[in-house]
Structure 1
Amino acid sequence: MARITLEDLNELDDESLDEDEEPMDGEEQNRLFSHWETVASTHQVTLPQEMAGPIVQMTQHNQAREPVPSVTLSQHEKCEEVAYEERMYPAGKWACITKGEPMYEQSISMGFMKLMRYICKENSIGRYLGMTVPVLNEIHLSKEGTELLPDVITAYYLPGEFQLNPPLPMDPEIHIRERPPLHVITRVFYGTTTEETILREINLLWELLGSVDTVLRDTYMVAAYENPGIPQRRNEIWFIRRAD
């Protein structure tokens, strides 16, 4: 399965439903699923029928997305534009899954497809939990720093109402983790997220920072915010400050 991500699910903005609108009928649901089969096929993926329900739910709720809480510590400009900024994310509970497919796009897609089902119904309370952004993809580089290692951790932040008592996942591959506070240096980039573009963005941010000993060099995060139907959609590369 490849690149059926959170961003893909919002591609049908014109077809999405407000909560006050009537539920989709069978014909509309079939049309929606057929659309995603086409999307999947362009990524060399077969979309399983079990994704029909979660796709409808995510499409209906695509306007209600809770931001992951954070505090901006500083912004750094270059040529009168923000080149990068530092943020602090508090400790919190995340639903995480690790996938190690041949391609980065495949790993994040397979991971998020499972998280989708957890978010929509396959949890201990059997209800839609709500979407948060960004979805994080934790990546690791080879010792040479020239390629991504296969394992990618895809993480979904539990909405505020579930932070104290997270619904348990039905899927044994999904784990609820209490992540410590995260201090990151973050730079926005636009477009697709592939191994090539990610490595390029990592190198660009290192050029801006210069020599910094307080940042991890083997672990990074890619934050996904927007719909891939937007040609210049927003993503971020995150460098992680070492804990004191």
Structure 2
Amino acid sequence: MKRGPDCPADPLDSTRDVCTLTPGVYYGGWKVGAKVRLLLEPGMYILAGGGIGLTGTESSIEAVTNTAGIEARIMIFSTDGPGCPSIGAQCQDSINFTSEQSFKAKALNEATCGLVSPQACPWKGILLWQDGTASRPDRPVSIGGQSSNILAGTIYAPKALVDVSGGAAGTGCGGTTSASCLAIQIISYRWKVTGGGLIDMPYDPSGLYQLPQRGLVD
């Protein structure tokens, strides 16, 4: 992503570019380089191959309220595109938010999904979904580094590693501590929490995906 008609200069910092995306299908994923702000309007985003690479310094991905005033809530579904496997860029890949950037987003809830992406309502509460039935379901989900992350929702990667590392650049959930704010639930094949930074992880089940309850009754 680079400066152009769809990615003008940031009015608050002319050295940075601002790209605004709307819900839909994106073939080949997102590769966000240095000094780019990627703004996501509310709704469901399907990555048809390519995953996410947020690795440049001073870059960010942020969910934002749209012009209709709908709350800044999203869902990202990472899977294969129709060209996989013959087109490598359309095959599922890693979701990577590391280095010196920020990722700020909340998962869709009942009120928001009905307004912007009704097809996502059965999975409300899921923020990131790494498709377990696609070609590369073991591609990891990495969140951390020296980044400022404020996230809420479920990370669902049933066949992959979810790697969360603490950063020192955040302000915590209350805005007073040097920590990332991760009000998240992790459902994955493996997970680990590393790094020397702090992570605030408050638990609010109302903002998370609720697993169907099944059991035997005697």
For normalisation by structure 2, the TM-score amounts to 0.30
Quick check: which one's helix share is greater? 1
Tell which has more relative contact order, 1 or 2 (C-alpha 8 A, sep 6+): 1
Q: Identify, as 1 or 2, the structure richer in strand.
A: 2
